[in-house]
Amino acid sequence: MEGNNSNVLRLRRLGIDTHTEHIIFMRSDSSVCISEGFTANTRVYVHYSTKSIIATLNVITSELIEVGEAALSEAAFRSLNAAEGELISVTHMQPIISFSDVRAKMFGKKFNNEAIQRVISDVNRGLYSKLEIAAFVTVCSGDNLALDEVIYLTKAMISSGATLDWEVPLVMDKHCVGGLPGNRTTPIIVPIVAAAGLIIPKTSSRAITSPAGTADVIETMTPVDLTLEQIMDVVRKEGGCMAWGGAVKLSPVDDVIISVEKALDIDSAGQMIASVLSKKAAAGSTHVVIDIPVGATAKVRSKEEAFLLEYYLRAVGLSIGMSVEVLITDGSQPVGRGIGPALEALDVLAVLRNEPAAPADLKERSVQLAGLILERAGAAPNGKGAERALNILESGQALTKFYSICEAQGGFKEPAPAPIQHDILASTSGIVHSVDNRKLAKIAKLAGAPKSPGAGVLFKSPIGKYVQKGEPLFTIYTASQGELSYALTFLHSAQHPVELVAT
């Protein structure tokens, strides 16, 4: 049942952007649709030159395209690397064998190594529909993956993409299990570690649901959209980099899975661990320090949860020959003062420049994490890492290294906060009792972060501080009055993110 000549169609470009979805548009009266029995939503193989992709069929019942033509979504054009006027052929797609492994998991059968390899390989080849990926993500969600399944998944994800080789015995890395606004230690840790003579090829993500990803913050100071070759060059020259991981596609299958997880707003501990550690392994890292902030409105809400994550992370690390160290930190309130790309970058620079008003909490965390990395690399005796890190920071070596890395990535610029500023004032006097990270993050997003890099929230009321009535609790930064009113509407509709108690 392979394709024949009646399955050949000429490409039209309609300019339809479906994000990453592969869509093919064919006429209902085309000989392909009739002879193959294709109807709307059939999934088909589309062949062009030596490439094939799977696409979902939308049927055209009008004269939008001519007889003998087919159109593709922009994503499908990109994946096939095809142009208008080229010839494609369209054939039936066979059922995906590996999906029976997902079905077996639904019935409570554990994944074995071969099953996970099959599934990840097929997802990587683009055989899975979004629906099938949603089902896979769901059977892996919550605590439905046992340790051995997480290990199989991590290994399968590592083997689905390229792996960097730095040809040195020690490659350091760090990661933060996110969810805490302003916790931007990476641009402080990378220069400290690199200044100590170690290799730290750090890649970071952009925001998906938060007001700023680390890559967004760094981008307000230096370009982050580097190719693999550029990353290799920067790291060979400076020992470290601060790049966006998305362009590098070190774990391509992970990006696909994460996009469905985000659409469903599903968390899966097993999936997250496999995602983080497979990316680190693909980046060639041998030693990874992981920050887990714990707090009522952080991603990890209890110490017990953090301990379990630590156990999984260390055990999976062991199975793939990676040393994993975990630091459980305070996640009860934002770190530093800025929430939003440029505002967080200003905190980072204040620490690196040893300014007297630099946020002490951000400095303290960065030094702790960097110290742990130095100890694991043997660059400081055990128990002396933080001291060494502090010394590198306060001596100005970290700032010099930071500028050098920025220079290697394409140059440094000062981050620019948004022009419109609006103070949110305390309506009574009192001591700050609790802070809702999620609400502050939402206000920063409504104010325009991260799309508007200067927008966000400047937080001024940490837990335990005494504030007087009329004193600002935080300041909203926006580029437009419209965004300010979005943020204020939400602020007034919900419980206040900063809770005061009378003294």
Given the rule CB under 8 A, which residues bind a second copy? 1, 13-21, 23, 25, 28, 35, 37, 39-41, 58-64, 73-74, 95, 99, 103, 106-108, 129-132, 134-135, 137-139, 141-144, 260, 263-266, 451, 482, 486, 489
Q: How far is the CB of 260 from a second copy (least distance, A)?
A: 6
18 versus 332: smaller Cβ distance to a second copy: 18
268 near 214, Cβ under 8 Å?
no
At a CB cut-off of 8 Å and minimum separation 6, what does 57 contact? Answer: 23, 24, 25, 26, 33, 38, 39, 40, 41, 42, 43, 44
Integer distance in angstroms from the first to the last C-alpha of the chain? Answer: 80
In whole angstroms, give the CA distance from residue 124 to residue 109.
Answer: 23
Cβ–Cβ < 8 Å for 240, 401: yes
Look at the chain and count its residues.
503
**Is 1 or 502 the residue whose CB approaches a second copy more closely?**
1
- List the catalytic residue out of 17, 122, 254, 267: 267
Alpha-carbon gap, residue 377 to 374, rounded angstroms: 5
**Which residues are paired to 474 by β-bridges?**
424, 459
Choose among 497, 380, 484, 503: nearest CA to 422. 484
CB of 170 to a second copy, least distance (A): 38
Residue among 91 and 159 whose Cβ is closer to a second copy:
91
| Residue 25: CB minimum distance to a second copy, A | 7
Q: In angstroms, give the least distance from the CB of 405 to a second copy.
A: 31
Strand order in the sheet with 172-176: 172-176, 287-294, 323-330
Question: Residue 456 Cβ, how far from a second copy at the closest point, in Å?
Answer: 15
User: Measured from the CB atom, is 2 or 165 closer to a second copy?
Assistant: 2
Task: Output 222 or 268, the one with its CB closest to a second copy.
Answer: 268
In the residue annotation, 267 being an active-site residue is answered as yes
User: How many C-beta atoms surround the C-beta of residue 182 within 10 A?
Assistant: 30
| Number of Cβ atoms within 10 Å of the Cβ of 8 | 16
Report the relative pairing of strands 323-330 and 200-204 from DSSP bridges. unpaired
* Shortest CB 317 distance to a second copy, Å: 25
Distances (CA, A) of 4 to 1, 31, 40, 47, 200: 9, 11, 21, 12, 53
In angstroms, what is the minimal distance from the CB of 2 to a second copy? 10
| CA-to-CA separations, 275 to 84, 283, 465, in angstroms, rounded | 37, 12, 38
Least gap, CB of 15 to a second copy (angstroms): 3
Question: Which residue type is seen at 328?
Answer: I
Per DSSP bridges, beta strands 472-478 and 456-459 are antiparallel
Q: Which is nearer to a second copy, 468 or 485 (CB)?
A: 485
- Between 68 and 378, whose beta carbon lies closer to a second copy? 68
Residue 65's contacts (CB-CB under 8 Å, 6 or more residues apart) are: 12, 14, 25, 27, 71
Judged by beta carbon, residue 146 or residue 263, the one nearer a second copy is 263
Cα(343)–Cα(350) distance, rounded to whole angstroms? 11
Active site (catalytic) residues = 267
